[in-house]
Chain A
């Protein structure tokens, strides 16, 4: 059973701070890693993907991947109240399958 684990939260950070969201996965052969943002009552929106070890930056978002530790994280710099949402980690495993495994999501609250 391939598993993707996230702390459900809520993670509460003040406006302007760095929010750090974490995700671990069980399949060591996983190839691709994704972060989705889901506002309440809406469908998920892809915000970042990462395939290689290290950091990948896009605006205020940085995805970090450590395959040896089976760990992927998302950092949000200068957090804004509009970043308040649930963040879903998704992992595509090995074997050419394009069926992603989703974590249960971490709820982020950015308070003014």
Chain B
């Protein structure tokens, strides 16, 4: 299967700061990437769909000004959590699509203190 990487794997930041998470497709080009958030023992929640060269499409209830997504190339999408608060602490996972199936990155665990 295809390989998707994420960086960093873990990050701790102070409330009010911003954090950038990178998602890379290593061995294929992904015109579409997805960003998910998962709280402990809960299901995946799709936050946004990231399309190369265009604005991301956000799911209802996700603040686009708080979660900035940039998909500058066919292999890189970034998610920036701006002005982070403790309630933003979660497991953030990206995925990239082949023709049909999705391949997930290893996830980034964000803790906001």
Contacts and interface: CB of A to CB of B under 8 A. Distances in A.
Interface of B: 1, 32, 34, 43-44, 46, 49, 91, 93, 97, 100-107
B104 A43 contact: yes
B44 A44 contact: yes
Size category of the binding interface on chain A: 20 to 34
- Please report whether the interface of chain A is mostly helix, strand, loop or mixed according to DSSP: strand
Interface stretch (A20-28, A59-67, A71-79, A97-105): A97-105
A88 interface: yes
Contacts of A46: 1, 101-104
A92 B100 contact: yes
A98 B97 contact: yes
A90 interface: yes
A42 B106 CA distance: 7
User: Most chain-B Cβ atoms within 10 A of its Cβ — which of A32, A46, A88, A92?
Assistant: A46
Nearest to A97: B49
A90 B107 CA distance: 18
B106 A43 contact: yes
B93 A43 contact: yes
Contacts of B49: 99
B83 to A, nearest CB: 26
Contact of A49 (B34, B91, B101): B101
Given A98-B100, A104-B43, 19 more contacts: A34-B102, A36-B104, A41-B91, A42-B107, A43-B91, A43-B104, A43-B107, A44-B93, A49-B100, A88-B44, A90-B102, A92-B100, A98-B32, A98-B102, A99-B34, A99-B46, A99-B49, A100-B102, A105-B43
